[in-house]
């Protein structure tokens, strides 16, 4: 499935089941792959807000906000992601987020 087709596919799934966080996360990833960071933000916020222990939406949200020049908004999301990476012993994401925060 081509990249734009992926976002259309997942957008349809989100429309049918807006409460499904996995559909939203998949849609956000597809939008990010299409360089549509602004469109992905709302879905990543909902994913992160729905589960306190879900690290990846926080990382992707932080990166999307950084890309959009919204550094002040990105920082708390990245800090939360770093805390989760440490708590969950995810070393690669921990390193990535530390590097992103160090660059702010």
Give residue 68's domain range: 3-102
Please give the Cα distance from 53 to 65 (Å, whole number).
Answer: 20
pLDDT at site 15 = 97
Kindly report the CATH number assigned to the domain that includes residue 31.
1.25.40.10
pLDDT at site 1 = 63
| 69 burial level (CB within 10 Å; 0-12, 13-18, 19+) | exposed
Please give the Cα distance from 8 to 16 (Å, whole number).
Answer: 13
pLDDT at 2 over 90: no
Domains held by the chain: number = 1
pLDDT at 5 over 90: no
pLDDT digits (tens, 9 = 90+) for 13-59: 999 999 999 999 999 999 999 999 999 999 999 999 989 999 999 99
């Amino acid at each position: 499935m081509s990249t734009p087709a992926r976002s259309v596919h997942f957008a349809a799934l989100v429309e049918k089941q807006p409460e499904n966080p996995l559909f939203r996360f998949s849609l956000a990833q597809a939008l990010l792959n299409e360089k549509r960071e602004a469109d992905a933000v709302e879905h990543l916020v909902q994913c992160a807000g729905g589960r306190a222990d879900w690290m990846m939406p926080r990382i992707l949200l932080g990166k999307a906000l950084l890309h959009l020049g919204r550094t002040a908004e990105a920082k708390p999301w990245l800090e939360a992601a770093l805390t989760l990476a440490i708590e969950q012993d995810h070393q690669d994401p921990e390193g990535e987020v530390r590097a992103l925060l160090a660059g702010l």
